[in-house]
Each structure stands twice: as structure tokens, then as C-alpha cells.
A and B are shown apart, each in its own frame.
Chain A
Amino acid sequence: MGETLSGIAASPGLAAGPSYRIAPRPELPPAIAVSDADTEAARALDALTSVVADLGRRAAAAGGVAADILDAQIMMADDDMLHEDVEARVRAGTDAPHAITEALAVHRAAFEAAGGYLAERVADLDDLRDRAVAASLGLAMPGIPSPGHPFVLVAGDLAPADTAGLDPGQVLALVTEMGGPTSHTAILARALGLPAVVGCAGALGVGDGVLVTVDGTRGRVETGVDESTVERIREQEAARKEKLSTVTGPGRTADGHPVALLANVGSANDRMDEAEGIGLFRTELRYLDRAEAPGFDEQVETYTGVFRAMVGRKVVVRTLDAGADKPLPFLFAADEPNPALGVRGLRVARRHPEILRTQLDAIATAARAEDAEVWVMAPMVATVAEAADFVARCRDAGIAKAGVMVEIPAAALRAKALLDVVDFISIGTNDLSQYTLAADRQCAELADLLDPWQPALLDLLAMCAAAGGATGKPVGICGEAAADPGLAVVLAGMGIDSLSMSARAIPAVREALAAHTLDECRKAAAAALAAGDAASAKAAVG
């Protein structure tokens, strides 16, 4: 018998198929006395053999660099010396999981001592140990399951490390018990174009291999469905995708009111083909994992790559957004008690104005040589004075269009005064949610507070849109909220000019806008703003 589970709609679309859970890392149980050394040794060696077989299947499916890494890991698990060592430990009275753990710990210490490349391989050894220990205990091996056919991935929550090896060709949809609309799972699902339901209580209770349907548009998971239902849902999804591809061209309402649909990118490698331009070019990538800031020439090259791909189109470059969840060692000497409220974003320029100056010069230089329409904006701006100072620095560098992001409630409340001194504003709804509701984006327990349909957030967005109307200057959105087709209609009705999101999310938003006239969008906005809470705001728009 099936049941219906409800969660937060995190990435639109329908999917159906067998569900498999990501098993957690096994806990090492208390040591037990070995009564039968032969049986216990076989248990330990069988565990290592099954790890070799499982990794072999993954390597065959992976190919390329990933296969090389897996191949090295297979050779570690298949190492005769390891098997001898593990068996000797069992015969000396240690149980299988402890023998495996202790034998690998010797090499773990050697890897750590060697440093450099080997220290980075410690994670591979730990992964090997967790898999072998799980197998020796008769538990599912941790990590992304590989049943050998497409499946719905179910997890407590997904960390970037869990999803690094995720094969979009094998995963039909993502379902997590925790997480909110701006969680890693939600962002990843939208980037990959996979339906996702997060904050879905009871998801981990669904057995492996059980057929489920996932509705990422409504936030529903049906469990224990039959094959014909799976087939029907797959047909529905194919029809939905077919319909999406029939609406093309720039974003506009049914009666032709334009709402630019832009892409969020981190480099020229990111997908941007669906977009009318780039609404958020994150420039942090070049700075992460560096001992010092990248030089002027290197930056010019990076920016040129993106501008060249966008000839004749708009590219909104966000200056370095360091701090909080993206700390850069060369900028931050000491630990901050509360990094999300610390020296991050534009505030870094208070200490290191030269880093901002070099970046603005590099952007201006790249922009002069290419034919993209380059706009530049600063992250984490709180006051009009900060905005005015940033605009002055942009003008000094020769940048024509300078704006700021609205991520702090203080900036949203003063949107009109900000627009008097800048050329445009772009609202980062993820941070604006976290600061308005005082709920950490990383905190899965508070996911409901981070729902972009929260009335307080909608009020701030409407305030910014109205300020745009009053000043005649552009107001865009570049947070995850822009990728929600239902909310896109509301935002267009408020008077937002552009929506920037993962490129894959654009077709669904384009279709939603095309299905409504501007007047209908305005009515939807009024209904959402009149609602008392997030759920009724969604229901009011229907």
C-alpha cells in the first residue's frame, strides 16, 4: 500500500521510478570477541571483495578522470597486503569491522604524514573503510547508490561532497527529508534540471527499490505505485517538456510585457544558451582555494571569456562576494564570531580597497575589448553611502552601469534612496530571506522560514519593485526565488524587470509568464501580498 508524502517543491517536474536511499556512514559498533576465526576472516575479506566489485561497477559507468580515481581506490581495496593484514588481525582476535578499520588506519597515518597529494587521498581511504565496514556489518554501503538503472535518490540531506559524483543520467529526481528551497539539494536539482522535493518528512522510511512518483512542482511524493503509474507519469513529464520547448524567445507575458530571463553563472563553462543574458556572474571561482588574489591579467582573461560568449547581450558582473560560507584565507586573518554578519561582500573593500580596484579595472578592461553590455554590482550593501561610494569607484574605473545587490533588509527598506544613486538594483533573495527571517541558510530545521513566499520577504520585494517604478530604473532578482515559475508570475506583477536563475530553470519560468497577461500577473501579486502566510500566498496564486 502506498502513501503520499508532502514536502517543499524545490525543483519543478515529474519523475517516477524505484527509490534508493543514500546510506549513512556506518558507526563502528563495540568490539566483539571472535569465536570462529575462519568465519570472521571470511566476513572481513568478503566485505573488501564486495567493495572492489561495487567500485568496479561505478568505474565502468563513470569513465574519464573519475574512473581513474576509482581505479586507484579499487587497487587499494584489492591490495593483497591489506587482505593479509586484515586476516592476521582477525586471527589475533579482532572482529571484522575493527580489523578493517585498524589495518587501513596504518596507511591513513602514512598518507597524512606524506602530506600534499596523499593527504588529499585520505578521504578516499576513509570512504573505502566506511564501505568495507558497512559491508562487513551487512549494511548498505554509504554514498550515492548504484543500482545499475535510473532511480529516485532519497537522502536525509545532500552535501556537495555527496553529489560530486552524481550521474544525472542515472538519477531521476531528488527527495530529501531535510533542506529548504535554498538548500544545496534544491540548487543542484535546478541546475541539473531534476525534479526535487525537500523537507519531505518520512522519505527515509521508503524502502529501497520501492516505486515512487515525485512531483517537484507541487512538493508531493507518492510511494508504492505500480508500473502503469510510473509509465503514465513519465509520459506526462515528456509532454510537459515538449510543451516547454514550444515556448521560445525572450521572456514575456501573454500580452507581450517583457521580463528578461537571465542566467546565473560562475564561469564561461556554465550553461547559458537559454538565457537572454547573464543576470549574475559570480566572480568568486577564481579566488577560491587561493593563497592570494588572482592578478589583473588573469582576471581580464576570465571576464573576457564570459563577455565573448555574450556578444550584444547583458552581463551583470558581481564583484567578489567573499566571507560567510565562502571564506578566502588571504582576506580573513582571524575567525569572526558570526561570519554571516561580519566583514563580507563589499565590506571587504574597507580593509582591502586594492582588491576591489584591481577587479573593477580588470572588468572595465575586458568590457572595452568585447561587445557585451557589461553592468557591475556590489554584494552586501547596507547603506546609500556604501552604494554611492561603490558607484564612484566604478566610474573611476570607466564602468558605465553600476548597481548594488539588495540582500540586507536595510537596503530593501531604502530601495528608492539607493536607486537615486545607482543605475540598477538586483535582489539576492537567498540572503535577503536569511537576514529578514533571521534564519541561517545552512540550517535545515528552519527551512520553512526561508520559503521565498514568506509575506515579509514578498513585502520587501514589492517595496523594491515599487522603487524601480518610481525611479524608472531596473530592478532584477537573482536568487533562487526567480526560478520558481509560480513566484515568477507574482514578481512580474510586482513590476520586477528581470529574473536570473540556473539556465535550466528558464524554460519553465518562460512558459509560466507566457501563460499570463500582465494584468493577471498584477492580480496574482496582489493576492500573494494579501495572504497571511507562505502556504496561503501560494494557494492564492494557485
Chain B
Amino acid sequence: MPSRTVAVASASGLHARPAALFVKAAKAQPVAVTIRTGEKKPVPAGSMLHVLSLGAGHGAEVTLEAEGEGAEEALDVLAAMLVTDLDATADHG
């Protein structure tokens, strides 16, 4: 299955505003994307509650996975968001 493993770059971790931006972007993808930390159970990337419950802090490694047409592109978009400090760009959001 196509996957991307990246470290969370946002200063506050995958919480608050960065989580909101990430979940919104995940929901906008044409394929269902999952996210997990380490070898834990993958959760839907489009679920705010599940993404927050990961408790992924700054620098935590997370793995995105998706299948089907458009999966690679969707993973690229979302992985690019995770390696950006979304707190730093908050003012422009």
C-alpha cells in the first residue's frame, strides 16, 4: 500500500490549528487516507477526534497510507502539510 512516513513539523504538534488544517485537507482528498504513529492502529485522517487522539507532538513520526486512484497524489499533498510548520503559517490561513 502506498505510504509516507514523515515527522510532524508544527511547533505545537498535530494539535489545535495544525490538526484542523490537516483534517480539512484530508477530507478534501478523493481517497480515504489513514494516519498512524509507529505500529499503532491506523485511524482515518479525516477524523478530527481520531487525529487529535494520536497525541502526535512536534517531531513525532507519523505514517500516512491510502489506496486506489489518486492515492500517491493525496499522500504527497498531506505529507507536505505535515512537514510544514502550520503554526508559523497560521496568520496567513
CB contacts under 8 Å to B, within A443-465, are none
Which of B1-9, B42-50, B75-83 is the contact stretch?
A: B42-50
For the complex formed, measure the closest distance between the CB of B42 and the CB atoms of chain A, giving whole angstroms. 12
- Residue B66, interface by CB 8 Å: no
| Minimum C-beta distance from A408 to chain B (A) | 45
Q: Residue B20 contacts which of A72, A82, A110 (CB distance < 8 angstroms)?
A: A72
The residue of chain B having its C-beta at the shortest distance from the C-beta of A124 within the complex is B52
Query: Which residues does A use to contact B, with CB under 8 Å?
Result: 68-69, 71-72, 75-76, 78-82, 107, 110-111, 113-118, 121
* Chain B residues with a Cβ under 8 A of chain A: 12-13, 15-17, 19-20, 23-24, 44, 46-50, 52-55, 57
- Enumerate the 3 nearest inter-chain pairs by beta-carbon distance, A residue then B residue, closest first: A114-B55, A110-B53, A75-B48
What CA separation (Å) do A81 and B19 show in the bound complex? 16
Query: How distant is the Cα of A72 from the Cα of B14 in the complex, in angstroms?
Result: 12
| A114–B15 CA distance with the chains assembled, in angstroms | 11
- Tell me the complex Cα distance, A114–B55, Å: 5
Distance A290 CA – B23 CA, assembled complex (angstroms): 34
Q: Are A71 and B55 in contact (CB under 8 A)?
A: no
Residue of B nearest to A107 (CB): B49
Interchain Cβ contacts within 8 Å, total number: 57
Contact B55 A80 (CB under 8 A): no
Nearest residue, chain A, Cβ from B19? A72
14 sample A-B contacts, Cβ–Cβ < 8 Å, listed by A number = A72-B16, A75-B24, A75-B48, A78-B48, A80-B44, A80-B46, A107-B49, A110-B53, A111-B55, A116-B55, A117-B12, A117-B13, A117-B16, A118-B15
Known: A68-B17, A72-B16. A80 touches B53 (CB 8 A): no
CA distance A116 to B19 in the complex (A): 15
Cβ–Cβ < 8 Å partners of B47 in chain A: 79-82
B34 to chain A, nearest CB (A): 11
Distance, CA A114 to CA B19, complexed state (A):
15
CA distance A169 to B78 in the complex (A): 40
Closest residue of B by beta carbon distance from A72:
B20
Q: Known: A72-B19, A80-B47, A117-B13. Is A111-B57 also a contact (CB below 8 A)? A: no
Most buried by A among B16, B47, B52: B52
Which of A69, A82, A117 has the most chain B CB atoms inside 10 A of its CB? A117
Residues in chain A near residue B23, CB distance under 8 A: 75
- Please name all residues of chain B whose beta carbon is closer than 8 Å to the beta carbon of A79 when the two chains form the complex: 47-50
Q: Which residues of B contact A116 (CB under 8 A)?
A: 55, 57
Q: Choose among A75, A78, A110, A117 the residue that contacts B15 (Cβ–Cβ < 8 A).
A: A117
Least Cβ–Cβ distance between A7 and chain B, in angstroms = 41
B48 — nearest CB in chain A belongs to which residue? A75
Q: Kindly name the residue among B12, B16, B48, B53 whose own CB sees the greatest number of chain A CB atoms within 10 A.
A: B48
Q: Which of B13, B17, B50, B55 has the most CB of A within 10 A?
A: B55
Nearest-neighbor residue (CB-CB) of B46 within chain A? A80
Q: Quick one: given A80-B47, A116-B57, are A121 and B20 in contact (CB under 8 Å)? A: no
**Which residue of the partner chain, among B12, B13, B17, B52, contacts A111 with CB atoms under 8 Å?**
B52
Given contacts A79-B47, A81-B44, A81-B47, contact A107 B16 (CB under 8 A): no
Closest to B15 in A: A117
A114-B55, A116-B57 given as contacts; is B17 within 8 A of A72 (CB)? yes
